[in-house]
Amino acid sequence: MDDRMFRTAMGKFATGVTVITTEVDGEVHGMTANAFMSVSLDPKLVLISVGDKARMHDLIKRADKFAVNILSEEQKEMSMIFAGQIKEERNVAFEDFEGTPIIKDSLVNLACNVYDTHEAGDHTLFVGEVLNLNVQDGEPLAFFEGKYKQIS
């Protein structure tokens, strides 16, 4: 199998969409990610997968904390901003939650400290211990076959 076939196969797995945020030296950084999962209830752990060449990789290592913002179907533009699909400068309002920047109006915000890291191929798996969370009702933004979708 080649890389393209592998990517196509992985695109057949429908996911939600998250924006991972962190703060380093007073500056907020974020990236869109769908490689996110729950790991454990006791302790409460989640996992994100970040490419070793991604800017967020070193930023999360430096900050030693991050937030996972699970986006609602109304937040497609937010995903596109942090995926680099919208090039114009946009003003994104962040809120502080447990010392970590979060995106307002997300379905879920998870404030995490880095609990562990694992190198896996060309990515690093960051296991985060959830310090606190916000949850609100709404429909999720979904991603399937390289396109945003709505769940109906």
Which range marks the domain in which residue 40 is found?
A: 3-150
* Count of domains forming the chain: 1
**CATH number, domain with residue 137:** 2.30.110.10
30 within 8 A of 19, measured Cβ to Cβ:
yes
81-134 pLDDT tens trace = 999 898 888 889 899 999 999 999 999 999 999 999 999 999 999 999 999 999
94 within 8 A of 28, measured Cβ to Cβ:
yes
At residue 152, does pLDDT exceed 90?
A: no
Helices (H), 3-136: 3-10, 55-63, 76-82
